[in-house]
Structure 1
Amino acid sequence: MWKTVRQAARATVQLATAAVLAFGSIIFITVLLIAAVGTLAVVGAGLLPETVLLIRRMAGAKRRMVAAWTGREIPEAYLTIEGPLRERLRTAVRDPGTFTDLRWMVLHYGYGFLVLPALPLWPLGLVVDGVWQGLLGREAVVLPLISRLADLDASWSTALLKPSPKARLAERVEELTETRAGAIAAHGAELRRIERDLHDGTQARLVSLSMRIGLAKRAYDRDPDAARKLLDDAQDQAEAALTELRHVVRGIHPPILTDRGLAGAVRALAASSGLDVTVGVEGLQDGDESGARAPAAVEAAAYFVVAESLTNAAKHSGAERASVQLLGLPAGLRVVVRDEGRGGAGGTSQAFSSGGEAGGSGLLGMQRRVAALDGTLTLTSPAGGPTVIEVELPCVW
């Protein structure tokens, strides 16, 4: 009996909150009508985007209420309202999520008038159920009904607030647009880096090499010793140029990935990092062991994340130890890099999905590479450490 009462009391709070939220819809519907009229009259047009944002907050509050009752989250899909007024107006009107929220708000407004008058009757229901159960030996009727009403409120709210396929598609298009912009920016930055490395390093060494060979040819007949010295210098310049070319090539796609695979390449990074690094591999091709091999683009992104993370750890964290975990998942690849340094990298905890930005060029570069493959990057780095970078890259094995 008391369990039923507690459940009914919780359901009553749920329904009362829903009714209060429904009454709040009156204000927002009124504001929306004023904004619509103002927009048509080109007076107060700025009210419409702000009103839509307020409605989103109300719908978000309802989603959280339903999640608290049912234990299941209701996803949301909205276009970002930002930019000049005309662009904000266009986004607010064209966003399919706007019409989903409006439909829910209008129906929720009417539903509230049906639910609220019944709420004060539940104490009477408690008495009736007590008599019904205590004297007649029958099961309670009214209190379970209140819980069923709360379930009904949650179910129809879920159905109304769930994003439509059109809304999900619009959100996905916006997400891919941002990801494409980030990928283009990352690609442009990579091209500029390669051009700079070739111009400032390799090209300068090749020019010097050409000059030394020319001088050696002139000095060959009259001063063979000087010519031999110039040729020795030219050989040194050629070897240095080859070294720098290898460095540039590694920045494009490390050959070690082709030769050893991701696991072997990461172990080579760990050995040369200057830290005490442990590497764990599961579900990937590792030496003579069986396992899957990720696509080349995924391996390159994972390799870059590990290389950049270990470099940052060695240079800035003060750590002596680190660990790298490579895990092949059914739908992708997970990479976790942890160092035992001082922490404080990019904030206490930040999650970067496609479109987000991280503090610092190293983190931003990693985020862009990961986002270009529709992956996610999560950074956790509280003051005092540890710093953990976790990346998930979707792929087909």
Structure 2
Amino acid sequence: MTTTATRPLTGRPALLGLALSLALLSQLGIAVFVFQVVSISLIPVWIGFPLLAGSIALCRYFTDLHRTISGTVLGQPIQRPYLPLPEGGWFGKIRTVFTDPATWRDLLWLIVNAVTGLVSGVTVVSFLAGSLFYLTFPFWWPLFHADDIDPMLLGVISMSTFGESFRAVPAGMILVALWWWGAPKLLRANAHVAKSLLAPTERTRLALRVQELSESRAESVDTHAAELRRIERDLHDGAQARLVALGMSLGMAEEAVAGDPAAARELLAEARQSTSKALSELRDLVRGIHPPVLADRGLDGALRALALANPLPVEVTGELPGRPQAPVESAVYFAVAEALANMLKHSGATTGWIRMSYEDGRLGVSIGDDGKGGASITPGGGLHGIERRLAAFDGTLMVTSPVGGPTTLFVTLPCELLTGPQPAQ
């Protein structure tokens, strides 16, 4: 259950457009409610099942849209509350949907939103329209005078002459101030109502968390097994093979040292080369398990070393106030290394950047380039591998890569930073 932070919506023109949208969507929600109720009533007839599937999908799409809107208003994303569907046939899935409290909370919200969404949206728009009307009321006075109508200021004070029409201007200014102050609060109140019904309950949070941890554990086990197979393969095909060749060369040199010293010297030189290559491969293997630069210089220094080693110019900005724990450091390091490798292979970029930050208990690293874009997370790809590695630590990977670029990867992990001298790792 991963989310990304959003900034609260504060611009008044955007709030006005949002208010209009909420008023219209609140009434559209009535049609969604009727569609789902009719689908449920038709379950005894065979056509009810496909209608129910369509109505539930439409209702969840509609509520997801409002979760996004309300999360934007609040500056805090609202998670989907639905229980995971079981494996197997459609009967078990339908039963899960029917027993999911979120399904019925969605229906309740459709009714509530038909009132709260309409009232909040219309009120925001009406306050602005009324304030503009009063501010410009002297210009409209001839229209009222032509029809012999004495308009009322705020329904209380009669205005019978052109001079009295200017009384409306201060009232309009007051209404503008009230709208400026009250519109965000009214829309936030409506967003809180939506959150109270559309956000996960504690039971749902627990179920989703169990599912997420189960998936994360399974992926971690698979990743660990793949890593062990890689280490075993590298040892068998690399260092082990060279050590076997080294033993054979030394045995042959031992036999030739008395009869053919020149051949013995060649065999010893070959053995020395095999030793150097075996040591180099062992160093590479150890570096692939836990790079020594992490233990020596920490994540900050290790990422700067990665940037220096990259053929493309990569700028590193930001500093961390401490060091994450070793497993987190390793996960972030390899995620950035994989991202830089993908940048070099596929992006066609000329420059890149790495930005580090730590805020509210979350470590954030963004990796970007000025390449051609079009990157996405696909099963079996490098970005999917990064996502799986981060998932073991409740981390997230978000990719923004429009065609034409630029590409930016956002890596976030919850962690505590350690300060002061660190023990050897």
Interval of TM-score (by shorter of Structure 1 and Structure 2): 0.7 to 0.9
Q: 2:329 maps to which residue?
A: 299
Tell me which amino acid in the other structure corresponds to 2:373. Answer: G
Comparing 68-77 and 314-323, the one that deviates more = 68-77
Pick aligned residue for 1:78 from 74, 78, 82: 82
Q: 2:394 maps to which residue?
A: 374
Comparing 300-309 and 125-134, the one that deviates more = 125-134
Tell me which amino acid in the other structure corresponds to 1:367. Answer: E
Please list every run of 5 or more consecutive structure 2 residues that lacks an aligned counterpart in the other structure: 1-14, 134-150, 173-177, 418-425
Tell me which amino acid in the other structure corresponds to 2:230. Answer: R
**1:177: how far off?**
2.5
Q: 2:217 maps to which residue?
A: 180
Q: Could you tell me how far apart the structure 1 residues matched to 2:367 and 2:186 are?
A: 48
Pick aligned residue for 2:197 from 148, 153, 160: 160
Q: 1:271 maps to which residue?
A: 308
Q: Could you tell me how far apart the structure 1 residues matched to 2:62 and 2:107 are?
A: 11
Q: 1:92 maps to which residue?
A: 97
**1:305: how far off?**
2.0
Contact 1:14 1:150 in 2 (8 A): no
**1:104: how far off?**
3.2
Pick aligned residue for 2:375 from 338, 342, 346: 346
Q: 1:13 to 1:358 in 2, by over 3 A?
A: closer
Q: 1:101 maps to which residue?
A: 106
Q: Could you tell me how far apart the structure 1 residues matched to 2:16 and 2:359 are?
A: 43
Contact 2:373 2:404 in 1 (8 A): yes
**1:17: how far off?**
4.5
Q: Could you tell me how far apart the structure 2 residues matched to 1:69 and 1:386 are?
A: 28
Q: 1:241 to 1:59 in 2, by over 3 A?
A: same
RMSD: 4.0
Q: 2:344 maps to which residue?
A: 314
Pick aligned residue for 2:26 from 18, 24, 27: 18
Pick aligned residue for 2:61 from 44, 50, 57: 57
Aligned counterparts, 1:139-288, within 5 A: 156-283=193-320
Comparing 246-255 and 380-389, the one that deviates more = 380-389
Contact 1:375 1:392 in 2 (8 A): yes
Q: 1:215 to 1:87 in 2, by over 3 A?
A: farther
TM-score (norm 1): 0.74
Query: What secondary structure, in the 3-state scheme, does the structure 2 residue paired with 1:367 have?
Result: helix
Note the alpha carbon deviations across 1:48-104, whole angstroms, 9 max, x for none.
555433332343355467668888765432234475324523532443322322443
Tell me which amino acid in the other structure corresponds to 1:91. Answer: T
Contact 1:49 1:92 in 2 (8 A): no
Q: 1:275 to 1:220 in 2, by over 3 A?
A: same
Comparing 19-28 and 266-275, the one that deviates more = 19-28
Q: 1:240 to 1:19 in 2, by over 3 A?
A: same
Contact 2:29 2:110 in 1 (8 A): no
**1:250: how far off?**
1.2
Q: 1:351 maps to which residue?
A: none
Q: Could you tell me how far apart the structure 2 residues matched to 1:152 and 1:183 are?
A: 42
Tell me which amino acid in the other structure corresponds to 2:93. Answer: R
Tell me which amino acid in the other structure corresponds to 1:374. Answer: D
Q: 1:132 maps to which residue?
A: 156
Q: 2:408 maps to which residue?
A: 388
Contact 1:96 1:166 in 2 (8 A): no
Q: Could you tell me how far apart the structure 1 residues matched to 2:75 and 2:235 are?
A: 57
Pick aligned residue for 2:359 from 329, 338, 353: 329
**1:246: how far off?**
1.2
Contact 1:197 1:248 in 2 (8 A): yes
Q: Could you tell me how far apart the structure 1 residues matched to 2:152 and 2:240 are?
A: 92
Q: 1:321 to 1:58 in 2, by over 3 A?
A: closer
Query: What secondary structure, in the 3-state scheme, does the structure 2 residue paired with 1:334 have?
Result: strand
Please list every run of 5 or more consecutive structure 1 residues that lacks an aligned counterpart in the other structure: 1-6, 284-290, 348-356
Contact 1:346 1:360 in 2 (8 A): no
TM-score (norm 2): 0.70
Note the alpha carbon deviations across 1:263-321, whole angstroms, 9 max, x for none.
222222222222223322413xxxxxxx3111111111121122222223333334343
Contact 1:213 1:230 in 2 (8 A): yes
Aligned identity (percent) is: 39
Pick aligned residue for 1:29 from 37, 49, 52: 37
**1:29: how far off?**
0.9
Query: What secondary structure, in the 3-state scheme, does the structure 2 residue paired with 1:221 have?
Result: helix
Query: What secondary structure, in the 3-state scheme, does the structure 1 residue paired with 2:398 have?
Result: strand
Q: 1:361 maps to which residue?
A: 381
**1:188: how far off?**
2.5
Contact 2:374 2:404 in 1 (8 A): no
Q: Could you tell me how far apart the structure 2 residues matched to 1:75 and 1:134 are?
A: 52
Contact 1:49 1:81 in 2 (8 A): no
